[in-house]
Structure 1
Amino acid sequence: MWDEYRSNEDSDYSAVALDLSNNALPFAPLPSVRKAIEAEVDRAADYPSAAYGSLRRAIADFVGFSPDHVIVGPGSVGVLGYIMRRVAGNGGRVVFAVPAFDAYERVVVDAGGTAVPVPGTESRWQPVESMTAAAGDDAAAILICSPHNPTGERVGLDEIERLLRWVPRHTVVVVDEAYIDFDHTADPTEIFRLIRTHANLVVLRTFSKAYGLAGLRVGYAVGDAGLIGACRTVAMPFGVNRLAVAAAIAALEVGDELAAQVDSVIRCRSLFSAAARVHGLTVAESGGNFLWVPMRHPAPLVDRFSRAGIAVREYPDIGVRITVPAPEHLDHVVEVLADGYSRMEASACHR
């Protein structure tokens, strides 16, 4: 499955004028975050704290747990690797829906686990009941992504609660909430109450998306203290650098400014969706900072974007994912999208 996406993942986008392929935030770090980064530059020769005590405490205060419930790593994908190594490292089966975040299969396999992809459809990209059936009684873990990457589909808290009741206690349920800050239909704190009653639930989050720190690589997970402590024993020493630690702590302290940035992305997402629909495209409701355009033959549209100097993410035979651009780029992106789609429609009519 990974090979399907390799052509996109391994591409060099340094020459593109606009990269809308990786769902990065189109803003520079906020002033106080930038100041925190700059203050650490003179200490770049020093290793960070091996236990990341200050960052774990800051995250723990933010989510309402003790630091023993928190693990940090180089992006949420790095933290997921630690979790998979601990719970599935001896060939354990790990269930997730496809299409999915491109790295899931690689992380599971690299950790020594066995990937069990469950196909989704346009009616339900993450079919929770089918995933539960595929897990059976012996799966090491189930991965749920909400909002879902790449489609933006949401998985409700009630569905996650049912899933936790269905699976055995030894099956770890990882809920990847990389895009939760862009989903204003959900309470981002609500899922944490489930951790207090379900020792097999782990919530995965990142500073790469809403916090705009993708280049610094820092993410975290919250879960049962025993499970999280076990995962920390296999974590890479000094995996998060000093600048990332300082930036993440500062980012947690600028909630109002961050909320304003997120709100601007959500407004732009709404304008983007509406404009796409005006031009006749089917665009799914999205809980992320991206739009999903389902289509059987996305290559021509992706090529049209490429010729316009815009990188988007193609999922062969399924669709295209497009990061919500900065407001000043929206009109141009919509123009290219509409032109590419109209050319596809005209070509189909002449077949």
Structure 2
Amino acid sequence: MSNRFRLRDALAEFPPYVPGKPPTTAPGLKPYKLSSNENHLPPLPSVVEAIADAGQAPANYPDPKATKLVADLAAHLDVDQSEVVPGAGASEILSALTNITLEAGTSVVYPWPSFEMYPILASARGAEKRPVPLLDDGRHDFPGLVAAIDDTTRLIMLCSPNNPTGPSISASELEGFMAEVPAEVIVVLDEAYFEFATAAEVVDGMAAYRKFPNLVLARTFSKAHGLAGLRVGFGVADPTIATALRQVIAPFSVTSAAQVAAVESLSRNDEVLVRAKEVAATRDQFEQDLRDAGLTVADSQGNYVWVNLDDDAAIAFEEACARQAVAIRRLSGGVRVSIGADEALDRVREVARSFEQSRIA
């Protein structure tokens, strides 16, 4: 890289973010993208109408405070408006949290593998990254996370359900962990996929937030609400933390269309949750079908499944799906398959059956 310009040295250490691949084409096959955990169901009709209406005045800046959205979220969650911070997806909330806590000489603790933005954001702030390997079943290693904390730690990132492996954090796990975390250290619970969770023991993020002042929730309308393309999410945090977050989030980051879409979708949250549970039922059946085909699959609570494969097998599986015009996500240790249309999942099922038969032969 040229040293002509005075850029930060930390840029050389950034792990690249690799988005999900688009599907390849194959003769006679409709292409499907199951590589980005997008909701394959369209937003509710009234949400689409709200987006269209909001697009009538694109020359105007959006409400910088997202007043209506913040008020509705606060009422929905039964918190004060001062505790709600809107952002361009949960990613902007996570980025803002690293911005208000991390710098050179500090450290951040997080499970790994998990959301790929965690190490990228830590590197951007010049902080020491402390990834803690997941347990063999894809769950967080909470004793390991506790052991990674020291007096330099300013932020801890948790992911429930964990992306890409799928398991959720239980209420007892989180409570036990929070009891071990110093009260001045901020812990963020990334709940991008919480609406898809169906296990009885899954932690209730809002209930935990009310118990622990240093816990911040990061949520999004991207997944269950099907608004990933509009980039709208929010954080729930102690007012002191929330005020600091607002200081570093760019003005007007949540567009007018995103605000009205989120408001309308939130007003129909019961319908959104019904559809999320339908996706979850499809996920559970798909997960079991892959197991029946001979694959090792984690217990997922998101809108995706994780298949444990060594690197060579993961490449082969991804390529086999690509030949069927289905894009999936290959990561270290396996592949992640988002829940999509029945036809797409059927093709992956067939790949799984053929794949295992070829490995046995």
Q: TM-score, normalised by structure 2?
A: 0.89
- The residue type paired with residue 343 of structure 1 is S
Q: Secondary structure at the match of 2:85?
A: strand
The whole-number CA distance in structure 2 between the counterparts of 1:76 and 1:114 is 22
Partner of 2:92: 78
Q: Judging changes above 3 Å, is the alpha-carbon distance between structure 1 residues 30 and 189 closer, same or farther for their aligned structure 2 residues?
A: farther
Is 2:19–2:36's contact at 8 Å kept on the other side of the alignment? no
Distance across 2 between alignment mates of 1:292 and 1:327: 18
Q: Does 1:137 align with 2:151?
A: yes
Query: Deviation of residue 73 (structure 1)?
Result: 0.9
Q: Which residue does 2:323 correspond to in 1?
A: 307
Q: What residue in structure 2 maps to residue 93 of structure 1? A: 107
- 1:36 paired with 2:50, answer yes
Q: 1:71 to 1:189 in 2, by over 3 A?
A: farther
**2:22 is the counterpart of 1:13:** yes
Asked if the contact 1:20/1:313 (under 8 Å) is kept, the reply is: yes
Give distance in 2, aligned partners of 1:178 and 1:39.
Answer: 27
Determine if the alignment matches structure 1 residue 156 to structure 2 residue 170. Answer: yes
Counterpart amino acid of 2:298?
Answer: A
Contact 1:279 1:338 in 2 (8 A): yes
Alpha-carbon distance change, 270 to 215 in structure 1, aligned in 2, over 3 angstroms: same
| Deviation digits for residues 165-197 of structure 1 (CA, Å, limit 9, x no counterpart) | 111112111000111101122588933233333
In 2, Cα distance between equivalents of 1:40 and 1:83? 30
| 1:272-328 Cα shifts (integer Å, max 9, x gaps) | 112112211121211001111111231111111122221111123x11111112234
Would the alpha carbon gap of residues 223 and 187 (structure 1) be closer, same or farther in structure 2, given more than 3 Å must change? Answer: farther
Change (3 A) 1:70 1:189: farther
Alignment of 1:189-228 (within 5 A): 190-228=204-242
CA distance in 2, matches of 1:42, 1:340: 50
- Mapped partners of 2:20, 2:348: distance in 1: 20
Q: Which of 292, 304, 326 is the equivalent residue of 2:341?
A: 326
Q: Following the alignment from structure 2 to structure 1, what is the Cα–Cα distance between the partners of residues 149 and 244?
A: 23
1:215-267, CA deviations, whole angstroms, 9 ceiling, x for partnerless residues?
11111110111111111111111111111111111110112321232122112
2:358 is equivalent to residue 343 of structure 1:
yes
How big is the shift at 1:83?
1.1
The range that moved more, 188-197 or 178-187, is: 188-197
Decide whether aligned partners of structure 1 residues 122 and 64 sit closer, same or farther in structure 2, where only a CA change above 3 A counts.
same
Aligned to 1:279: 293
Q: Distance in 2 between matches of 1:241 and 1:49?
A: 8
Instruction: Sort the Cα spacing of 1:20 and 1:14 in 2 relative to 1 into closer, same or farther, 3 A.
Output: closer
Asked if 2 retains the 8 angstrom alpha-carbon contact of 1:142 and 1:174, the reply is yes
Tell me, in whole angstroms, the C-alpha distance in 2 between the residues paired with 1:12 and 1:280.
Answer: 26
The answer on whether the counterparts of 1:152 and 1:284 sit within 8 Å (CA) in structure 2 is yes
1:78 to 1:311, Cα distance in 2 relative to 1, 3 A: same
The 8 Å contact of residues 196 and 224 in structure 1, kept in 2 or not, is answered as: no
Contact kept in structure 1, 2:105 and 2:152, CA below 8 Å: no
Secondary structure of the corresponding residue to residue 241 of structure 2 = helix
1:50 Cα deviation from its structure 2 partner:
1.2
3-state DSSP class of the match of 2:296?
Answer: coil
Give the drift of 1:74: 0.9
CA contact (8 A) 1:98 1:119 kept: yes
Deviation per residue, 1:151-175 (Å, 9 max, x gap): 1112111211122211111211100
- C-alpha displacement of 1:27: 1.2
Instruction: Please tell me the residue identity of whatever aligns with 1:323.
Output: S
Deviates more, 1:132-141 or 1:233-242: 132-141
Unaligned regions of 5+ residues in structure 2, if any? Answer: 1-12, 26-30
Unaligned 5+ segments in structure 1 are 347-351
Verify: 1:117 aligned to 2:131, yes or no: yes
Counterpart residue type for residue 280 of structure 1: G
Sequence identity percentage: 33
Q: Is the 8 A contact 1:132 1:167 kept in 2?
A: yes
Q: What secondary structure does 2:55 align onto?
A: helix
CA distance in 2, matches of 1:186, 1:312: 29
